[in-house]
Amino acid sequence: MANSLRIQNLFSVEGRVAVITGGGTGGLGAQMAEGLVANGAKVYLVGRKQSTLQEQVAKLDKISPGKAKYFAMDITIQEEIDKFVKFVEQSEDAIDLLVNNAGLAIWGPPASYLDPLDKLQAGLKASPVDHWKALIATNSWAPYIFTVSFLHLLARAAQKGDGRGSVVFITTIGTQSWNPHTNFAGYISTRTGAEHIARILAAKLLPHKIRVNILAPGIFPSNATSPNDPQGIANPSVASTLAPFKRAGTQEDLVGTIIYLASAASGYVTGARLDVDGGLVLISNGTNKFLP
């Protein structure tokens, strides 16, 4: 009989089926998908842009042929989510891992607490309700309704045990930050809302053994945070001044965490939040520099 304590069993994702929203643009979703496929999982990627999804699936096919599928859709439209559930049901009777990774970030113009009041007020006021509606729909409602729409498939996976039936909400360490130089109240509060939703669902789903946890990234290179942008937070020289470990997160940092959350290793963990940020959140409430 296989020794359940050996890493290849305890952390195995071999044969598991994962759904990852926002997995097509080379960012965190795509990076997690690569790690899961490299370790024998099958992934379904979701996003709005068919071309980038196709490119990412082609990349995954090179890692392990036939292990990735995509579905182009908008996660803020219920009918499209329903169609996607039907698409998955054609091939799967259970979903072992759902990663609610897609997100929308809208920053306001600079508005530091050190600015004169008129400049501060103008910066903070540049926050139209349409932005807030889009942020709430993408960052709070979509991960909620996506999870709820997959409950039957997650529950079937959870019944099999060994950590299956795992839901991960990707948020941000910004939910624990109120750095007074920054101006992204809509982004941060809708992510904070998502964290509360994750805990509500974790509690509600206990009888079904569906686990719901939060992975809060710090600074990671992605489509949204290009390392080639000289001012961007993931640019190596910027990250080295902002982050306590003097670097942005790596794909290994991210993949190690998602494999833990997808596998038997985390089978007794639900309602938890893992900050994957090299300690950035521990210093992000200082007043002396811009931090997420």
Ligand X SMILES: NC(=O)c1ccc[n+]([C@@H]2O[C@H](COP(=O)([O-])OP(=O)(O)OC[C@H]3O[C@@H](n4cnc5c(N)ncnc54)[C@H](OP(=O)(O)O)[C@@H]3O)[C@@H](O)[C@H]2O)c1
* Site of interaction with ligand X (CB under 6 A): 21-22, 24-25, 27-29, 47-49, 52, 74-76, 101-105, 138, 170, 172, 217, 219-220, 222-225
| Of residues 25 and 39, the one with the C-beta less far from ligand X | 25
Shortest distance in whole angstroms from residue 292 CB to ligand X: 7
| Of residues 183 and 222, the one with the C-beta less far from ligand X | 222
Shortest distance in whole angstroms from residue 97 CB to ligand X: 16
Q: Which long-range contacts (CB under 8 A, 24 or more apart) does 249-256 make?
A: 249/217, 249/218, 249/219, 249/220, 249/276, 249/277, 249/278, 251/31, 251/34, 251/35, 253/220, 253/278, 254/28, 254/31, 254/32, 254/35, 254/217, 254/220, 255/31, 255/32, 255/34, 255/35, 255/36
Shortest distance in whole angstroms from residue 171 CB to ligand X: 7
- Helix (H) or strand (E) holding 44, with range, is strand 42-47
| Of residues 180 and 232, the one with the C-beta less far from ligand X | 232
3-state helix, strand and coil shares in percent for the chain, rounded to the nearest 5 = 45, 10, 40
Shortest distance in whole angstroms from residue 167 CB to ligand X: 14
Shortest distance in whole angstroms from residue 121 CB to ligand X: 27
| Of residues 34 and 94, the one with the C-beta less far from ligand X | 34
C-alpha 153: how far from its chain's center? 20
| Of residues 94 and 201, the one with the C-beta less far from ligand X | 201
Q: Are 102 and 47 in contact (CB under 8 A)?
A: yes
